[in-house]
Homo-oligomer: A and B are copies of this chain.
């Protein structure tokens, strides 16, 4: 990448960001947009900030900056707090690294002359001046390389210290949250893979065992049932009710002064409402709702009686006993009577609760293998796209582009952005596929699904984006030359690896300026909301659905951030100028995520920060990759003391092992000491039973209550007092 393309890329990114920032501070003052910019505050009953109309454009910055961790946890939950802690940890690691790498290594590199003397002529157009700031500009086996070696150690040690402290901090915070709040899942044990009962019913089987073991603490069990049919009926009923409300609202609005009797809405009964007899929508819906309600009730009864599966929720009145039971092996063969802490009611994946153990295990292997194949073979289309999106190739393939390319400015912009854009669009297709595959694994909670998807996505990113771009870029550049001077592979690799850094810098800049600009300004949700409100929504409920933003998408956010971490870690020493850009990315991310956590995203459930061990492991994975890359590159530089880098990956693995041993247990299970404290208010058994009864099995007359309650619930942090009542 030549210098002008590089600067253009940065400049346009920055310009877009400024525009988006301006749009945000303007749009967020208009009261019709409040539901887009302050939905969390509104749904929690706080409303937009008081001075919203008169405030300075930087007020949001100050608010996001000043919010305490406790405020964030209270408003947005522990998961958001942990995500912010993750950004904070990365920021610290990169900051401390930059503290050494930038002022020491960059001057050493820029005053060297490897590129100008040894490798190629300075007139080579593909070679930017920026590349001279990297280790590539140091000649082979110079004593200056010692400074880079020290930097490698510095980076590793800084990472260990920061991660160690963060892990301890997050465990502390989690401890406080878990021990203070009585959550329904703390009283409930999920028992899976029950063997067929020898005599009596499923619930008798479970009762008999737990009542004998804990006569005082055990209350009752809820056997899991196949929900397929009830769920279908329930969804149908729900959509009919919405339709009815919509029709009533339309009818109400049609009652103008001129026409006080209004126009009753009608629709056709046939395919997609396009054919068939015309009927009165309100009457028709009411009739259908009546029918369906009867059917649903019958189906609910049948499901509870006949569709019982081999798993159950066992409810205890004592958190400590429930925690003990959830951690104990019950049967000798581990595929039977598997216990674990129940997921939070809101995040249960009902369909996966009753998968048989061995098939699930093999399914998991199958899916890992499939993901492995996807990761490997995505390389092919990606390299194809990379080749396509070089302007020269595009000109040949799509001749009309030639006229566009002739415009000087446009040419530079295109050359700067095309490869990155292609990469980003390509990646957008993947998360849903990975989420789907993770669900097939038989995971029982949504937060676990999110973690599983994020893990797969991270490895995809590392292999395809990071390694893919680095290796194919490097090898491709090297191959171009090799035809002319064969036998010089190593020195060509030497010259080609660091210049990839500038590609990644523009990639990071694009992500952080444009990505975070869009995130903050919420332009897309804003437009969609206004369109929906104008043309589609009639009832309050529909309008709420149109603006309700849902939770953070951790499964795409975290891997994207992790990719930047990997890039930054790998180039921190080899091309330290990556660091300032990565730091800007995470600084901007930190402040904007805090803003969004405090004002925008509404969490559906809280996993209690279980994402953290996952994040920590991935940061360490990125560190190992960077350590191995450095080992390789130092050897290419024929530095005789390269072997001194050997202990680093081993140290990282040991560090990961020790952290895992010390801290991970507290995330995997609930430690007894946390839940053996006395509680002021215990949830009633009835409320626990309600919470773990799926909505579609709730008696119909409770629906209305349940729905009303659902609105109320999202304004309260506590989830214990679900209003759904037990069937029979």
A residues near B (Cβ < 8 Å) are: 171, 174-175, 209, 212-213, 320, 323-325, 327-335, 337, 357-358, 361, 365, 654, 658, 661-666, 669-674, 676
Contacts known (A320-B213, A324-B325, A673-B209); A171 close to B333, Cβ less than 8 A:
yes
How many whole Å from A364's CB to the nearest CB in chain B? 10
How many whole Å from A187's CB to the nearest CB in chain B? 16
A320 contact set on B, CB distance < 8 A:
213
Identify which of B329, B358, B671 contacts A331 (C-beta below 8 A).
Answer: B671
Decide if A213 touches B337 in the complex (CB within 8 Å).
Answer: no
A175 contact set on B, CB distance < 8 A:
332
A330 contact set on B, CB distance < 8 A:
671-673
A663 contact set on B, CB distance < 8 A:
333-334
Decide if A329 touches B327 in the complex (CB within 8 Å).
Answer: yes
Decide if B672 touches A329 in the complex (CB within 8 Å).
Answer: yes
| Closest 3 pairs (CB-CB, A-B) | A332-B666, A334-B665, A324-B324
Interface of A is mostly: helix
CB<8 Å pairs between A and B, sample of 13: A171-B333, A213-B676, A324-B324, A324-B327, A327-B328, A329-B669, A329-B671, A330-B671, A330-B673, A332-B671, A334-B666, A357-B662, A365-B654
Beyond A332-B671, A334-B661, 15 additional contacts (C-beta under 8 Å) are A171-B333, A175-B332, A209-B673, A209-B676, A213-B672, A324-B324, A324-B328, A328-B328, A329-B665, A330-B673, A333-B663, A334-B666, A361-B658, A361-B661, A365-B654
A213 contact set on B, CB distance < 8 A:
320, 672, 676
A332 contact set on B, CB distance < 8 A:
171, 174-175, 666, 671, 673-674
Q: How far, in whole Å, are A365 and B654 apart by their CA atoms in the complex?
A: 9
Q: How far, in whole Å, are A674 and B665 apart by their CA atoms in the complex?
A: 25
How many whole Å from A327's CB to the nearest CB in chain B? 5
Decide if A333 touches B662 in the complex (CB within 8 Å).
Answer: yes
Identify which of B328, B335, B669, B673 contacts A672 (C-beta below 8 A).
Answer: B328
Contacts known (A320-B213, A337-B673, A661-B334); A329 close to B666, Cβ less than 8 A:
yes
Most buried by B among A327, A329, A663: A329
Q: How far, in whole Å, are A332 and B674 apart by their CA atoms in the complex?
A: 8
Please give me the residue from chain B that is nearest to A654 by CB atom: B365
Q: How far, in whole Å, are A359 and B663 apart by their CA atoms in the complex?
A: 16
How many whole Å from A686's CB to the nearest CB in chain B? 26
Please give me the residue from chain B that is nearest to A674 by CB atom: B332
How many whole Å from A573's CB to the nearest CB in chain B? 26
Q: How far, in whole Å, are A671 and B331 apart by their CA atoms in the complex?
A: 6
How many whole Å from A648's CB to the nearest CB in chain B? 16
Decide if A673 touches B334 in the complex (CB within 8 Å).
Answer: no
Please give me the residue from chain B that is nearest to A666 by CB atom: B332
Decide if A666 touches B333 in the complex (CB within 8 Å).
Answer: yes
Q: How far, in whole Å, are A365 and B563 apart by their CA atoms in the complex?
A: 31
Decide if A323 touches B333 in the complex (CB within 8 Å).
Answer: no
How many whole Å from A324's CB to the nearest CB in chain B? 5
A327 contact set on B, CB distance < 8 A:
324, 327-329
Q: How far, in whole Å, are A104 and B365 apart by their CA atoms in the complex?
A: 35
Please give me the residue from chain B that is nearest to A660 by CB atom: B334
How many whole Å from A280's CB to the nearest CB in chain B? 60
Decide if B335 touches A662 in the complex (CB within 8 Å).
Answer: yes
A324 contact set on B, CB distance < 8 A:
324-325, 327-328
A654 contact set on B, CB distance < 8 A:
365
Q: How far, in whole Å, are A662 and B330 apart by their CA atoms in the complex?
A: 12
How many whole Å from A179's CB to the nearest CB in chain B? 10
Q: How far, in whole Å, are A330 and B324 apart by their CA atoms in the complex?
A: 9
How many whole Å from A339's CB to the nearest CB in chain B? 9
Q: How far, in whole Å, are A227 and B725 apart by their CA atoms in the complex?
A: 60
Please give me the residue from chain B that is nearest to A167 by CB atom: B333
Decide if B212 touches A673 in the complex (CB within 8 Å).
Answer: no
Q: How far, in whole Å, are A330 and B666 apart by their CA atoms in the complex?
A: 9
How many whole Å from A654's CB to the nearest CB in chain B? 6
A174 contact set on B, CB distance < 8 A:
332
A331 contact set on B, CB distance < 8 A:
671, 673
How many whole Å from A564's CB to the nearest CB in chain B? 31
A357 contact set on B, CB distance < 8 A:
662
How many whole Å from A11's CB to the nearest CB in chain B? 49
Q: How far, in whole Å, are A174 and B324 apart by their CA atoms in the complex?
A: 24
Q: How far, in whole Å, are A487 and B114 apart by their CA atoms in the complex?
A: 41
A664 contact set on B, CB distance < 8 A:
334
Q: How far, in whole Å, are A670 and B331 apart by their CA atoms in the complex?
A: 9
Please give me the residue from chain B that is nearest to A664 by CB atom: B334
A329 contact set on B, CB distance < 8 A:
327, 665-666, 669-672
A676 contact set on B, CB distance < 8 A:
209, 212-213
Q: How far, in whole Å, are A670 and B332 apart by their CA atoms in the complex?
A: 8
Contacts known (A323-B328, A327-B328); A658 close to B334, Cβ less than 8 A:
no
Q: How far, in whole Å, are A174 and B331 apart by their CA atoms in the complex?
A: 13
Most buried by B among A324, A325, A327, A664: A324
Q: How far, in whole Å, are A324 and B672 apart by their CA atoms in the complex?
A: 11
How many whole Å from A163's CB to the nearest CB in chain B? 15
Please give me the residue from chain B that is nearest to A179 by CB atom: B332
Please give me the residue from chain B that is nearest to A333 by CB atom: B662
Please give me the residue from chain B that is nearest to A365 by CB atom: B654
A325 contact set on B, CB distance < 8 A:
324
How many whole Å from A337's CB to the nearest CB in chain B? 7
A672 contact set on B, CB distance < 8 A:
213, 328-330
A365 contact set on B, CB distance < 8 A:
654
How many whole Å from A669's CB to the nearest CB in chain B? 5
Q: How far, in whole Å, are A324 and B325 apart by their CA atoms in the complex?
A: 7
A334 contact set on B, CB distance < 8 A:
661-666
Q: How far, in whole Å, are A174 and B333 apart by their CA atoms in the complex?
A: 12
